[in-house]
Chains A and B, each alone.
Chain A
Amino acid sequence: MVRFIFTIIFAQIICLCAESQVSNIDNGMLLEASFNVDTIFMEDSLKLHLLFKNTSNTVLDLYPEGIIGLVHNHKEFITYDTPQRITYKLHDFSNTKKVVSLNPGDEYQYDFDILANSNFFYEGENTVLVYYHFFDEPNKRKCKKREPKLSLWSTPINIIIRKQ
């Protein structure tokens, strides 16, 4: 019994030590986002343009296929009526196999095709932001809480959604 208790305590200490080893979030990368249109009808499709730029003085590796999505720029803590209103997920896992090396000042850009659906978007003016999180490897030690290796946020962008 005593041995069991010491084993539990020892395991807890290991977990606490692991949690304190938080990786740094790199700020040497800039994320810009824009829509291809200013106004669109509900349920029509549009393009979201993403641009990553190395703003540091060193060569950086970018994993473009991180966890990416849209979120409303609400300033209050709002309990949304549906979970779909919380975020429009564009890419929901970190692909560690696709990597792009960016020299200082280099850019990498690509588009997402998205749908202006009523699950996420409101009728009228919507102000949204794009987030990007990258986790470098699967969590093999479940008691270790990981921070993303890289987190980026775009500035707010606007889109007006009109009723069909």
Chain B
Amino acid sequence: MIWIIPNIGWSKSGGLSIGVSVVVGIPGGLSAQAGSGYSFGSNDVYGYVGATTCMNTVYASYSLNSGGSVGYTSGLSPFSGLPISTNFGTVVVNYNISLNSWSGNVSAWQIDQRGWTFNPSVSVMLFPEQTTNFIRRGKFINNDAILKTFTDAGDYQGALDYFGFKGTYDPGNKIFNGGSEPGAVDPKTGDIYYNSTAFNGGFDKLYFVADHEGRHSADVRSGKYDNLTLTKQIMAGEEFNTWAYNYRRQGLYREHGFDIGSRLNSYGTVAGIDPDIIFSYSYYQPWWHVIHRIPRRW
């Protein structure tokens, strides 16, 4: 997967800056990235390359004012997936090759030869969907609009391929039995099938269905159900766990349109799961569950 992410940032010492990053992989999870930008405050042009795994990044950078650097950063960097990020959740160690000097920061506190200084920074993604679609399709439009161009043309499989969603568009598959269920997974092979109704609610609905079926598929292919009689109670438990997985990832597809609470309640009931656990999803939601709906890109 390729992401092109324009961003605008501000830091106390560097002032306003703009930049663009090209990221391959799952940014923040397992990715390689390169980018460049311009800082208005220090009138500086910079560029960087980096590799990230599990929020740990090694990078090399170069700026016209400061020269070359290499470093390591850990934490909620601009590649953590949040549309807005700050350096409050990061730790950085940096070595400037040109100046032969060390520096770093813990949260917004920065340290170098001059001692500790408070240097908060914030970065905001700018139109990452539109920019990525512009590079790939030549149209500066969001994912909903891109999806509509595919569905208007009747190219449903093309939409799945474009967004990188695994599975086959197959509304005539006997699994659906002529019904309107948006997706299904073969419990023996893990193959994913989509119905036309997966495409009628915008990108977030399609993303949700693909994420849901993808989780089932991964569970089947992991072998956890091999040599096991797949009873309805086990299947309902798998559904409960998968809807709970989607529940925790709602920030990815906020406009999905599914009543997750009702489905958790129903599948939990069928699976014989403790009602007190089921109800916490639909009736007694703890206040902190709001974190699941914080918008994020990945």
Contacts and interface: CB of A to CB of B under 8 A. Distances in A.
Contacts of A148: 272
A139 B274 contact: yes
Interface in A113-164: 122, 129, 131, 133, 135, 138-139, 142, 145-148, 151, 153
The interface centre, meaning the residue of B184, B186, B212 with most chain A CB atoms within 10 A of its CB, is B184
A12 to B, nearest CB: 17
Interface stretch (A27-35, A55-63, A82-90, A96-104): A82-90
B187 A151 contact: no
B275 A77 contact: no
Given A77-B216, A77-B235, A133-B272, A83 B262 contact: yes
Contact of A153 (B180, B231, B238): B231
Contacts of A51: none
Interface residues of A, number: 32
Contact of A81 (B175, B177, B182, B272): B182
A86 B184 contact: no
Contacts of A71: 232, 236, 270
Nearest to A140: B276
Contacts of B272: 67, 131, 133, 147-148, 151
Given A75-B187, A79-B212, A86 B179 contact: no
Contacts of B156: none
A77 to B, nearest CB: 4
Contacts of A10: none
Interface in B223-249: 230-233, 235-236, 238-239, 242
List 7 tightest A-B contacts by C-beta distance, closest first: A83-B262, A86-B266, A139-B276, A133-B272, A77-B185, A146-B274, A148-B272
